[in-house]
Structure 1
Amino acid sequence: MSHLITLFEHYPYVMLFLGTFLELLALPISAELLMSYAGYLVYLEKMNYIFALLTAYTAAGAGITSTFWIGKSGGYKLIEKYGRLLHFGPQK
């Protein structure tokens, strides 16, 4: 955990973008926790408020768009092919 905090302190905008983007791709990452820590870094003046918001909005837009295109291009075929690996078959 301390390694992630160190990464976030050295590369706050990149980590905020990746965390939010990956959360919206349905990975178990908490963007709310990242945003809270980003707010703390803004309070400490280690991050710019406007850039942090723009990073979060851009990551959210990119994540939602990526998820949409994955679903649109693969959709049900992906569930039939790879769903059993995640215990998520067509009947579920």
Structure 2
Amino acid sequence: MEHIILHFIAKYGYYALFAALVTGIVGLPVPDEILLTFSGFLVSVGRFRFAWVLLVAFAGSVVGMSISFWIGHRFGLPLLETYGRKIHITPERLHSVERWFNRFGKFAVPVGYFIPGVRHLTAYFTGISKWPYSTFLLYAALGGLLWSSTFLTIGVFVGHRWRLVTLYLHKYLLAAGLLLLVAAALVWWVRRRRSKIM
């Protein structure tokens, strides 16, 4: 599957990258970080232009997140619980992400981009929680820009070693995401204690 998608991007360029990111973020088994670092590699060899590929990746991520948001907004949690397995969303993952989302709120959307398995669900939960779309879009756009530019830049700098570097990143990304969560929880706890004292 991965080989087919990468060949598709190498052949059809920006359009293929956009389509792959949209479907990957909605929930299909598309290796998003691999797509971005591969695209960064294509920039390094002159096949893509960085500004264009960043724009396309950013747009694909925001469109994918927006589709997920509106599915969550319109159909709610029962749809994901009933049909989620077909796009690799298990009830266990749903409930763990729901708890995490409810705890960290708005931070969950931009930070969630960097955590495998979470990125695909935060937009659904913002829709289920009936956020205003304008608020969701602000946080989704911020996260999408940071996420896209990070992995594209890595791909540009590592060049032909993009696959090896991506494997290591993917391996440690979950651990890094958990550290970010702990840090966010600590900040939240400290602020809460200060507000009680004051």
1:67 and 2:61 equivalent?
A: no
TM-score by length of 1: 0.79
User: Whose radius of gyration is greater, 1 or 2?
Assistant: 2
Give the residue type in structure 2 aligned to 1:30. P
Following superposition of structure 1 onto structure 2, how do residues 43-58 of structure 1 map, counting pairs within 5 Å? 43-58=44-59
Task: Give the superposed CA RMSD.
Answer: 2.3
Tell me which stretches of 4 or more aligned residues in structure 1 moved more than 4 Å: none
CA distance in 2, matches of 1:79, 1:54: 30
Give the residue type in structure 2 aligned to 1:49. F
Gapped regions of structure 2 (runs ≥ 5): 96-198
Counting matched residue pairs gives: 88
Give the residue type in structure 1 aligned to 2:77. Y
**Where does residue 7 of structure 1 map in the other structure?**
8
Gapped regions of structure 1 (runs ≥ 5): none
- Residues 75 and 35 (structure 1 numbering): CA distance in 2 closer, same or farther, change over 3 Å? same
CA distance in 2, matches of 1:56, 1:4: 15
TM-score by length of 2: 0.39
- Residues 11 and 75 (structure 1 numbering): CA distance in 2 closer, same or farther, change over 3 Å? same
- Residues 46 and 14 (structure 1 numbering): CA distance in 2 closer, same or farther, change over 3 Å? same
State the 1:5 CA deviation.
3.5
Q: Percent identity?
A: 25
State the 1:22 CA deviation.
1.4
Give the residue type in structure 1 aligned to 2:28. L
CA distance in 1, matches of 2:5, 2:24: 16
State the 1:76 CA deviation.
3.0
CA distance in 2, matches of 1:5, 1:78: 31
Give the residue type in structure 2 aligned to 1:50. A
SS at match of 1:75: helix
Structure number having the greater helix percentage: 2
Following superposition of structure 1 onto structure 2, how do residues 11-90 of structure 1 map, counting pairs within 5 Å? 11-79=12-80, 82-83=82-83, 86=85, 88=91
